[in-house]
């Protein structure tokens, strides 16, 4: 790091760049097909933090010409009713992509959503088909937050090939897919979780640390090697403030580059979701069945 502190990896300029491309793609789609693609956002039960996030997504849709459709399902709805609503969206030819806002009410198993979503409309990469495509190196839909954690590094020209990367977190939505994406970038990857013995040993050994644990301030400066690049995926509310999983102040004294929270991974996630939607719309329009032929992703695994 320099005497001015680490390089801040800001999400906003990257998100703006991504949205500009999406806006062009949406205009071209509209020109060819005569209608704008629709993103359906399903909200089960009203919940304040999710509602803020959803409004951001709907605003982003509007900015780039995508039609955002909010589908509100009462929090007391049964699993069967939720399944029925998702099936209706699967069958709706105007709807190109579906996201279901998490967390679901505790009594609704996640599998109700995952198993019902049409993989061709699963633009947040939850369905086992998309998870399987990612693990085999095909181009399925990526879990958007994991995609954002890697994209922010790529677009900031931070080399990944051959570098030691430690992931903190192994969830299906962030940690695990981010680890697979880093492998795709030819990094040497270590995955840590709540049972990892001596977490600091693994984070200190890494040149790039990606943290998605949901524990505020889990990673402190003394757990990083000098010059490390830090991507903080965590979003936690502490004393009415949004904070990440990395203790920004101590980490900034050691890191060479770091994503802030808020303002790092979040905006990029939001913008990338729109790119996934456009891709889904294009695939459905050209072959009527979503993925069509499978393609191996860019680099060899
Ligand atoms: P999650 O499903 O709760 O998974 C958390 C992971 O962290 C688990 O693998 C867990 O280990 C691990 N972990 C928890 N405590 C740990 C500890 N003390 N040491 C090491 N590992 C630990 O959470 P998630 O859905 O992946 O989300 C992670 C964070 O990202 C949350 O703060 C969430 O709000 C945020 N997030 C951000 C965005 C965005 O757009 N920026 C989007 C989604 C989520 P085990 O597997 O052993 O339990």
Per-residue pLDDT tens listing for the chain (301 residues): 556 899 999 999 999 999 999 999 999 999 999 999 999 999 998 765 677 788 899 999 999 999 999 999 998 999 999 999 999 999 999 999 999 988 888 899 999 999 999 999 999 999 999 999 999 999 999 999 999 999 999 999 999 999 999 999 999 999 999 999 999 999 999 999 999 999 999 999 999 999 999 999 999 999 999 999 999 999 999 999 999 999 999 999 999 999 999 999 999 999 999 999 999 999 999 976 545 556 778 644 4
Q: State pLDDT tens for residues 110-122.
A: 999 999 999 999 9
Residue nearest to atom 17 of ligand 1 (CA): 194
**Ligand 1 mean position to 171 CA, how many Å?**
6
- Cα–Cα distance, 273 to 7 (Å, whole number): 26
Architecture of domain 32-119: 3-Layer(aba) Sandwich (3.40)
Nearest of 128, 156, 154, 150 to residue 141 by alpha carbon: 128
Q: Parallel, antiparallel, or unpaired: how do β-strands 38-44 and 188-192 relate?
A: unpaired
CATH of domain 144-265: 3.40.50.720
**Ligand 1 mean position to 5 CA, how many Å?**
27
Identify the DSSP state of 223.
Answer: G
Taking the complete model, does pTM exceed 0.75, yes or no? yes
- Cα–Cα distance, 41 to 82 (Å, whole number): 13
Ligand 1: nearest atom to the Cα of 270: 40
C-alpha angle with apex 174: 116 to 150, nearest 5 degrees? 120
Residue intervals in the chain for CATH 3.40.50.720: 144-265
């Amino acid at each position: 790091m320099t005497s001015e502190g680490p390089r801040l990896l800001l999400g906003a300029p990257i998100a703006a760049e991504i949205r500009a491309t999406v806006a062009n793609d949406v205009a071209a789609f509209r020109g060819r097909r005569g209608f704008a693609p629709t993103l359906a956002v399903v909200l089960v039960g009203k919940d304040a933090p999710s509602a803020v996030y959803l409004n951001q997504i709907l605003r982003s849709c509007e900015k780039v010409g995508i039609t955002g459709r909010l589908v509100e399902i009462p929090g007391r709805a049964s699993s069967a009713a939720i399944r029925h609503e998702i099936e209706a969206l699967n069958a709706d030819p105007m709807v190109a992509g579906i996201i279901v806002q998490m967390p679901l009410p505790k009594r609704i198993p996640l599998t109700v959503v995952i198993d019902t979503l049409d993989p061709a409309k699963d633009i947040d990469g939850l369905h086992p088909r998309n998870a399987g495509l990612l693990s085999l190196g095909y181009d399925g839909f990526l879990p958007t937050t994991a995609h954002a954690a890697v994209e922010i590094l790529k677009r900031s020209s931070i080399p990944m090939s051959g570098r030691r990367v430690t992931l903190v977190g192994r969830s299906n939505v962030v940690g695990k897919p981010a680890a697979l994406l880093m492998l795709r970038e030819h990094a040497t990857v270590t995955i840590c979780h709540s049972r990892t013995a001596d977490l600091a040993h693994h984070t200190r050994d890494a040149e790039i640390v990606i943290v998605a644990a949901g524990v505020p301030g889990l990673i402190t400066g003394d757990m990083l090697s000098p010059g490390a690049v830090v991507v903080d995926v965590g979003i936690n509310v502490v004393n009415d403030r949004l904070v990440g999983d990395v203790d920004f102040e101590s980490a900034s004294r050691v890191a060479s580059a770091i994503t802030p929270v808020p303002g790092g991974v979040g905006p990029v996630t939001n913008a990338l979701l729109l790119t996934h939607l456009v891709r889904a719309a294009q695939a459905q329009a050209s072959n009527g069945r979503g993925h069509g032929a499978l393609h191996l992703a860019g680099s060899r695994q």
